[in-house]
Amino acid sequence: MRMREFQFDGLVGPTHHYAGLSPGNLASQAHAGEVSNPRAAALEGLAKMRRLYDLGVPQGVLPPQPRPSLSLLRRLGFHGRDPHVLSKALAEAPELLHAASSASSMWAANAATVVPSSDALDQRLHLLPANLVSLLHRSIEAESTERVLSRIFADTELFRVHPPLPACDALADEGAANHSRLVGERGVVHVFGWGRRAGSARPERFPARQTHAASAAVARSCALPESATLLWQQRAAGIDGGAFHTDVLAVGNRNLLLLHEHAFVEPEALLTELTQRLGSDFRAVLATDRELPLADAVAAYPFNSQLVTVPSGKMRILAPLEARENARALEFLERVRAEQPLVEAVEYLSVNGSMKNGGGPACLRLRVPLTDAESGRLGARVLFDDALEASLRGIVQRRYRDRLQLADIADPALVEEARVALDELTQALGLGSVYDFQR
């Protein structure tokens, strides 16, 4: 049966702002405190979805999550009515207010790990939400993610939505941002990049967000046979250079893998192993640090492109504009196109509002391979088309601000605006009342 890879993008939320919440994510640090434009960022995201849809790549939408999370602030001891909770948090612990208000669920590559039914031992599609325990603002995503995915993938005969792994440091999991599914003539390999494990080299400057134990548990839970699983360590130097997820330095699709030499330890051994398992049609393009210095790769995000198969069977690279503006990154992507006849074109699109927080095109989407039977059994109305685009655009235009400063986050009016927007968005997506404030 035909299986196609759907791109489920996280829609940027109305509280999108730059709070410098992610150590080791150089863009997040560099843009902390800048004024954001949630409306423009959400429209960039919708324009990206439109482009994929026009290319014939099936596209889905995941809603923003309710932010600010007043329930987080109350759990942290701020009591009273909403305005009081917000002003007290702003005065006493602004970092907690910003964590409670981050629109970080837009980076859907971190929402979950996905294993298609064709690869799972029980022949169901598995989705395992990431616990994201490394950072407070991201850890609060897991609960809503599980709820939203359970609505969309509600049919338990076909789909299995797991609970996130237990929320502890030893099982820190960042989802599909550290996972890549490759398919060759000989088989399928799921590559899980992990950053730390007792006894292994660790980054010195920045945190390794994914543990080996978490990757192994995700692969097991999602019923992946061992023969299709490959756990490989991220290179500490890459993490220390700002590659907090593997998708900052590598991207794969079917039988093609693009990677930087600092993405993984022993890249040559990895490629040999992949060739053995996938077969002789496996192709890789490796950028050495000489060709593309790590600092350029991290600043311009050429590997955080979407590498997608279009209906003709060829592939296309959808890269961030920043990668065209960086000469080394541009040359690398041009080399990929010139050397790989599989790749019909490279195109560049603007997701700058997200990039300034360290999220490129690939961060904004969760890949979900679905058979026609499975895509016909999705709950909700989350598949992108003209009508959905028009209603989402309308809500964003009407309800989102075009300017947010850090202090605006404590504005009680923003809480109300965000609720109205999310209420309308979740209705447009046919998700019903999915969040606590709607019940």
Under 8 Å between Cβ of 345 and 316? yes
Identify which of residues 110 and 144 has a Cβ nearer to ligand SUG in the complex.
110
Q: Is 137 a catalytic residue?
A: no
Per DSSP (E only), the strands in 212-274 are 229-233, 250-253, 256-260
- Write each residue from 350 to 389 as x if it is in contact with ligand SUG (CB under 6 A), else as -, in one continuous string: -------xxx---x--------------------------
Quote the tokens at residue 357: 């927080």
User: Considering CB under 6 A, how many residues would be counted as binding ligand SUG?
Assistant: 22
Q: 15, 37, 102, 309: which one contacts ligand SUG (CB under 6 A)? A: 102
Identify which of residues 257 and 431 has a Cβ nearer to ligand SUG in the complex.
257
Of the listed pieces 83-91, 107-115, 155-163, 277-285, which binds ligand SUG according to CB under 6 A?
107-115
| SS3 sequence of 153-218 | CCCCCCEEECCCCCCCHHHCCCHHHHEEEEECCCCEEEEEEECECCCCCCCCCCCCCCEHHHHHHH
The H-or-E segment that residue 364 falls in is: none
Alpha carbons 68 and 84: distance in angstroms, whole number: 13
Kindly state the smallest distance separating residue 106's Cβ from ligand SUG, in Å. Answer: 9
Binding of residue 245 to ligand SUG (CB under 6 A)? yes
Identify which of residues 133 and 388 has a Cβ nearer to ligand SUG in the complex.
133
Under 8 Å between Cβ of 419 and 437? yes
Q: Is 84 a catalytic residue?
A: no
- Write each residue from 165 to 204 as x if it is in contact with ligand SUG (CB under 6 A), else as -, in one continuous string: ------------x---------------------------
Q: Is 245 a catalytic residue?
A: yes
Identify which of residues 259 and 428 has a Cβ nearer to ligand SUG in the complex.
259
Closest CA relative to residue 170, chosen from 113, 224, 114, 209 = 209
The active-site residue out of 137, 179, 245, 260 is 245
**CB under 8 Å to 305, separation ≥6 — which residues?**
251, 258, 317, 318, 319, 320, 323, 333, 346, 360, 361, 362
Site residues (vs ligand SUG, CB under 6 A): 18-22, 25, 28, 102, 104, 107, 109-110, 138, 177, 244-245, 247-248, 357-359, 363
**Active-site residue set:** 174, 245, 363
